Structure 1
Amino acid sequence: MAPRLKELHAAGQSLWLDYIDRAMLQNGDLERRIREDALTGMTSNPTIFEKALAEGAHYDTQLAAAEAGLTPWELFELVETEDVRRACDLFLPVYEATKGKDGYVSIEVSPGVAEDPDATIEEGRRLWATVARPNVMIKVPGTESGARAVRSLLAEGINVNVTLLFSVEAHRRVIEAYLDALDERVAAGKPVDRIASVASFFVSRVDSEIDKRLDAIIAQLPEERKSYVASLKGRAAIANAKLAYRLFQTMFSGQRWDALAAKGAMVQRPLWASTSVKNPAYRDVLYVEQLIGPDTVNTLPPATLEAFRDHGEVARTVDQDVDGAERLLADLEALGISMPAVTDKLLVEGIASFQKSFDGLLAGLEKKMSALVAR
């Protein structure tokens, strides 16, 4: 097993691969990564599937044999659920060994239902039933509407990955949804010991947006102030995530949580998403090294995973200098950069980006099907 990845896992952080394609599910690559890289889960989204379906011919046989008359959306769901089902089977030994704490594979509801809780619930139920594996997680955007759907799905016993979280307040909302769902199950006499959820808190996109705003401020400053403002770049995302982790520690303690934990409930772990570095000036494993700690998950794209395997450094960092994180965000506020305004913008853009990928994916599928029929 890769020493650095093993150390990261031993520090309490689960490593989930932020990637999926049929080739790695069939050629033994995923089994190797589980065995050698301490990999304990996997996430998927429309962008990842768009890339996987566009490359090579791994899906052609299944698509060519599909029932006539299926829409591009139905064809996508056909191949998507097949991949996720296979990945769940490969991670099942991890799920069983950790008694349901780990070994999950995520599948996302379509971005078009992000603001419709009833449609989200319906789609989540369908995906859960179609994959039919105990270690699948249904990904639901962390909007206000999404939080309502999250509570309902969890209360039904469906595992949920709450995605596209950018603000600490949004994180608080989904933790409350999780706790409310567990309380509801306890009140109904239902078990809570195998209900699992993660809260996917996005990281690098926060720095990308705030750095852009800092650059605009720097351009208007006198020379003597530029270096100070420039020193704030590349730090907000980590600070924001550390405050989210502090909230996690606070809300999963005390009388309410102790009563649920006594019945076997598991914490809703923070999952650090969007952890590839967008600015080449920053250390390529920045968003892994600075957010290491117990009961966390990091979804790593393959390139980030390889970088950490090569030169990542392991130390408990996620709850270090949280006061400094608060001061940094206060300094940004003093410069006129509002974190709520930033995170609201990123949520809207995140949903739009997934919708664009989803539309591109469906268009690509339609084109591929036309080519297969013409053969």
Structure 2
Amino acid sequence: MDPAHVSVMNPVRALQSFGQSVWLDYIRRSLIDGSELQRLIDEDGLRGITSNPAIFEKAIIGSTDYKAALQELHRSPDLDAKGRYERLAIEDIQTAADALQPVYAKTSRRDGYVSLEVSPHLAHDTRGTLDEAKRLWDAVGRDNLMIKVPATAEGIPAIVQLIGKGINVNVTLLFAQETYEQVAEAYLTGLEQLLARGGDVGRVASVASFFVSRIDTAVDNTIAARLTMSATDAEQRVFRSLQGTVAIANAKLAYQRYRRLFSGPRWAALAKRGAMPQRVLWASTGTKNPAYRDVIYVEELIGRHGQHGSPGDARGLSRSWTPTQSPHGRDQAGEGDDAVA
């Protein structure tokens, strides 16, 4: 693609020319009931939505969007607080999934997903995670739903079984490369189990949500403490050079693992039957440190088959990023897999 053309393109759409998809890490009823979500899909090229209980909590408590619905639910004495939350969340997820269905169809099930998370209280309960994931999957009743499951020791076995049953999974709370590899292995094993049962591996999808900025937040705090104890200028220069770099380095190494795991004979056998790779979704890409550019993680993690979770509002990304700002010359699509290296 001509770099001059990319420079004037809608920034979210420009990311697509690099093999990227942008998913909005945000949901609320006024977004999906009005024209805003459709505008984001049609004009900005939004490819998916993720949610979690905290996002829904802010939407429900911090707005009047749900006032009428809550009043109606209060008339159902058989529903406890969790039941009311689920009723609201499922309705929103269904509406968003319907809006993204054309994207799901147009991209041959590559994009167009909406994610709904199992209860955080089940993070260390394999059986509970399985039961709730299947219940939510049935309740929403949309092929372009992904059930979010945390990458805990107890969550990973659930991922194998869910994929083996043909349920789409968004694996969340990934920080460590070793855990990422376990998650990718769980996906591959689940696909093999589904195939052994005679299932269609081409109809199940998964993403691995690898968290980025939170790592820099933790490491930068440690570096700041060490800077106060450093005795020499040389030591201080070393520590300062590491600020804001660890999360990106960690993510790039994870991406190289992705490339290795989704190649070779094992993956080729599954891909031949129509299986899609479990793409990496770069989550927590909003910068926490005001000293960093707000799109630093987006720019540094451009690579084929990648996804970016945009926090809060996709319009923020549209306003703040243009392809020509990339410090590594990634204005030309076609660098592809080598971009995240």
Deviation at 1:320, TM superposition (A): 4.7
Deviation at 1:321, TM superposition (A): 7.6
SS state at 2:110 partner: coil
1:183/1:260 contact within 8 Å kept: yes
Deviations 1:53-88 (A, max 9, x none): 012322122222222231100000000000000000
Deviation at 1:44, TM superposition (A): 0.3
Q: Quick check: 1:228 aligned with 2:248?
A: no
2:10/2:318 contact within 8 Å kept: no
Aligned residue among 50, 54, 58 for 2:61:
54
Change (3 A) 1:303 1:91: closer
Quote the residue 1:310 is aligned against. 320
SS state at 2:273 partner: coil
Quote the residue 1:333 is aligned against. none
SS state at 2:201 partner: coil
Quote the residue 2:248 is aligned against. 238
Quote the residue 2:70 is aligned against. 63
| Unaligned 5+ runs, structure 1 | 323-375
SS state at 1:261 partner: helix
1:285/1:304 contact within 8 Å kept: no
| Unaligned 5+ runs, structure 2 | 1-7
Quote the residue 2:48 is aligned against. 41
TM-score scaled by length of structure 2: 0.91
Quote the residue 2:116 is aligned against. 107
2:208/2:278 contact within 8 Å kept: yes
Aligned residue among 292, 298, 306 for 1:288:
298
Quote the residue 1:275 is aligned against. 285
Q: How does 1:325-340 map to 2 (within 5 A)?
A: none
Quote the residue 2:13 is aligned against. 6
TM-score scaled by length of structure 1: 0.83
When the two chains are superposed, the root-mean-square deviation of aligned CA atoms in Å is 1.6
Seq. identity, %: 46
Q: Quick check: 1:84 aligned with 2:87?
A: no
Quote the residue 2:219 is aligned against. 210
Task: Tell me how far apart the structure 2 counterparts of residues 68 and 59 of structure 1 sit (CA, whole Å).
Answer: 18
- The one-letter code sitting in structure 2 at the alignment partner of 1:55 is G
Quote the residue 1:255 is aligned against. 265
Quote the residue 2:179 is aligned against. 170
Quote the residue 1:134 is aligned against. 143
Task: Tell me how far apart the structure 2 counterparts of residues 257 and 286 of structure 1 sit (CA, whole Å).
Answer: 32
Deviation at 1:7, TM superposition (A): 1.3
Deviation at 1:144, TM superposition (A): 1.3
Could you tell which deviates more after superposition, 101-110 or 218-227?
218-227
Quote the residue 1:18 is aligned against. 25
Task: Tell me how far apart the structure 2 counterparts of residues 204 and 69 of structure 1 sit (CA, whole Å).
Answer: 41
Could you tell which deviates more after superposition, 135-144 or 185-194?
185-194
1:245/1:318 contact within 8 Å kept: no
In the alignment of these two chains, the number of paired residues is 322
Task: Tell me how far apart the structure 1 counterparts of residues 169 and 340 of structure 2 sit (CA, whole Å).
Answer: 31
Could you tell which deviates more after superposition, 221-230 or 273-282?
221-230
Change (3 A) 1:52 1:149: same
Deviation at 1:141, TM superposition (A): 0.3
Quote the residue 1:341 is aligned against. none
1:193/1:264 contact within 8 Å kept: yes
- The one-letter code sitting in structure 1 at the alignment partner of 2:275 is A
SS state at 1:65 partner: helix
2:310/2:317 contact within 8 Å kept: no
Q: Quick check: 1:119 aligned with 2:99?
A: no
